[in-house]
Structure 1
Amino acid sequence: MRNYLLLRARLLVRLLRELGWWRLLLLGGLLGLATARALVVAAGSAKAAWLVPVVVAGLLWSLHRQRPDFLFLQLTAPGFRPWLAAEYALLSLPAAGVLVGCGRPGAALLTLVLAAGVALAPPATARAGRRHRQSMFRSVAFEWVGASRRRGAGLLWLGLLGAAAATRHTATGPALAVVGWLLVLLEVYGPVEPWAWLLPALTSPGRWLRGRVGWGLLYFGLTVAPLAAVLAQGPAGAGGTAALLLWCAVVLTMVVLAKYAFYPHATLARLTQAGAVVVGFSILGSNPAFGALLAACFLGLGLKSHRRLAYYQHA
């Protein structure tokens, strides 16, 4: 286990070096402050503190399902699950430490337990066979086509719609359903497609990125419309619903851009997407500085993703 953890640490250091020291210092520091603030705010509430273990486990689960070394570990070390459990528990230690510091030992313990339990989840595998049922989404939006063919995607959407309808007399329930559907898109836009799929991007990286963002916003708008309708009929009203949808559009755009900002490094892409979501949530507070942070991250991801795809254009 010790050698495995050292190898993973070296891999993380190499990825951070590829990120660049100045970008790591600037964006890493800002994202670190935003994450720390979100943890402190959540840990300060008796109820919100129990959301931290779920969020941490969800992020680790998303990374775990897309690991490319599952087959290698199964062949070389069949008993690798405890190694993964130790790795994920170590990654969740900062969040657990914040919870302990704020007097939430129960939530901290649950964070470590759920993080270690993620190691038991199976990897994401493609279905056997070449024939698939026809998707309602256009093939150019391949992320949505793949998501529509996964088991449970429709049931999850129906569950969120049912929860929103059941709590329509409040603004919190439907709003959480909308945000929950947005977080589901982290899994939709998580996997990195093969480089051969980027051939259309070689002619015009900007057009490719606009297309990816445009199709994402279109299908998100169509799928979230029933949830937004329930929210608009409640205390939030049309104004509050429009503001929430605008915020969701900004966060979704950053998630899509983050996918290509460090292509083809899936780990950096996932970490950047998680950071974009954290920055998006940070502006919900009262500090106006986080609005400037959101704008800086939005512009930075746009420039970085365009430059990254332009590299393949001239390669």
Structure 2
Amino acid sequence: MPSIPTPLLAYLRLRARVVSRQLRELGWWRLVLLGALLLAFAGGALRQAAQHPRGQWAVPLVLLGLVWSAHRRRPDLVFLRAAGPDFRLGLAAEYALLALPVAGALLALGAGVGAGLLTLILPSLAALAGPARERTPRLRRPRSLFRSEAFEWVSGMRGVGGGLWWLALLAGALWQHATPLGPVLALAGWLLVVLSCYGTPEPATMLLLAARRPESFLRRRLVLALGYAALTAAPFGWLLATSPAGPGAAGGAAGLLLVLTGLLILIKYAFYPNGFLIRFSQGIVIGFVLSQPGNPVYPPLLAALLGGLLWQSRRRLGQFRYDEGGRE
């Protein structure tokens, strides 16, 4: 039996220590809460996919897309490239180990062996990708429709092409206006676009320049985010209200959109400045809510999340103040 190369073992041990440190930083109660959400979300999605003859083949493709996107955002890619010529082998092994529980669950739920093996192997191909290109700053940019203080909306929408996505989703909602599913899917798609804007933490200097109390800083961030979310989602809400679903469904969908947008803000500052924990937590919460609409556990769960994240975000932001109320 061939032995595992020593550099590969050293890399995997290093990654295990980094992940364990990040989990300890997450805290046991947040780990339990997010772990329960992850199991509920992933378990339900895998159960439905495994029982569908074509859906099971979508699992390896979706997993590859997720791993590919996370791989290109890794801040240590430049270091790993300089550390040794075989760094891609370690990355491929790491991604295969991450995919192993998903492949095992898919097989246990009744999927075919081919789909399970593809789920195990395909994410390793993400190791071939390079880091995301850094955008070259331009001296002149077109004037944004959003206030510069709402920098997530200004830079984020430019980065993901938010205006084009908004027009495309609106066109799709208009096309499927006769059924409630079109506007609902458009709202969900727009929420994912907004999610991409709030997944990257800003530099700490931007927090220091604000020089506000955590309560006022959070209040301002929430007012801007919820205001722009309401304005941009208003056409989708109107289409849903005039569809067979009616105004009641439109009000419920709009309210859920605003609650989830607020959760994105609170999660961002509750785990600031750890980008991995921010994106991981945001993805679990949004994925769980969108995958199981109408779940009766939503009201108490959202209330617990809002309370815990509000407390943690205020506590975290209190460490980034240079005024007389801040910490040394």
Counterpart of 2:254 (choices 240, 245, 257) is 245
CA distance 1:153–1:282, change in 2 (3 Å): closer
1:67 aligns with 2:80: no
Question: Per the alignment, in what secondary structure is the counterpart of residue 307 of structure 1?
Answer: helix
* Structure number, greater radius of gyration: 2
* CA distance in 1: counterparts of 2:256 and 2:58, whole angstroms: 21
**What is the CA distance between 1:175 and its match in structure 2?**
1.0
1:260-275 matches, cutoff 5 A: 260-275=269-284
Q: Structure 1's 128 and 36: CA in aligned 2 closer, same or farther, altered over 3 A?
A: closer
Check the 8 A contact 2:180/2:244 in 1, yes or no. yes
Distance in 2 between the 1:256 and 1:32 partners? 20
Give the stretch that moved more between structures: 102-111 or 270-279. Answer: 102-111
* TM-score after normalising by structure 2: 0.83
Aligned to 1:88: 95
Q: Which moved further from structure 2: 138-147 or 97-106?
A: 97-106
Aligned residue number for residue 199 of structure 1: 208
Q: 2:318 corresponds to which letter in structure 1? A: A
SS at match of 2:80: helix
Aligned AA for 2:36? L
- 2:44 is the alignment partner of 1:38: yes
Structure 1 residue ranges without an equivalent (≥5)? none
Q: Secondary structure at the match of 1:149?
A: helix
Distance between the aligned counterparts of 1:53 and 1:252, measured in 2?
29
The match for 2:188 is: 179
2:136 is aligned with 1:123: no
Match among 167, 179, 194 for residue 170 of structure 1? 179
Describe the shift of the 1:107–1:172 C-alpha distance in structure 2 as closer, same or farther (beyond 3 A).
farther
How far off its partner does 1:41 sit? 5.0
Offset of residue 299 of structure 1:
1.3
Moved over 6 A (4+): none
Q: Report % sequence identity.
A: 47
Q: CA–CA distance in 1 between the matches of 2:259 and 2:91?
A: 34
C-alpha deviation, 1:294, in angstroms: 2.2
Contact kept? 1:39, 1:98, Cα under 8 Å? no
TM-score, structure 1 as length reference: 0.86
Q: Which of residues 6, 17, 21 in structure 2 aligns to 1:14? A: 21
2:217 is the counterpart of 1:208 = yes
Deviation for aligned residue 1:296: 0.9
Aligned residues: 313
What is the Cα deviation at residue 44 of structure 1?
6.1
Q: Matched residue of 1:136: which SS?
A: coil
2:315 is equivalent to residue 307 of structure 1 = yes
Is 1:4 the counterpart of 2:11? The answer is: yes
Aligned-pair distance for 1:210?
A: 1.6
Q: What amino acid is aligned across from residue 2 of structure 1 in structure 2?
A: L
> In structure 1, what is the equivalent of residue 299 of structure 2?
291
Mapped to 1, the partners of 2:130 and 2:41 lie a distance apart of 28
- Is residue 38–residue 288 contact of structure 2 (8 Å, CA) maintained in 1? no
Conserved 8 A contact 1:280-1:294: no
Answer whether contact 1:89 1:116 (CA < 8 A) is retained: yes
Offset of residue 62 of structure 1: 4.2
Structure 2 equivalent of residue 97 of structure 1: 104
| SS of residue matched to 2:159 | coil
* Residues 147/203 of structure 1: CA separation in 2 closer, same or farther (3 Å cut): closer
User: 1:113 offset after TM fit, Å?
Assistant: 5.3
Unmatched 5+ stretches in structure 2? 1-7, 321-325
Measured after TM superposition, the shift of residue 226 of structure 1 is 2.8
Match of 1:150, SS?
helix
Pick aligned residue for 2:230 from 206, 216, 221: 221
Alpha-carbon displacement from aligned partner over 1:3-22 (angstroms, at most 9, x marks no partner): 22221111000111122234
2 CA distance for matches of 1:111 and 1:157? 32
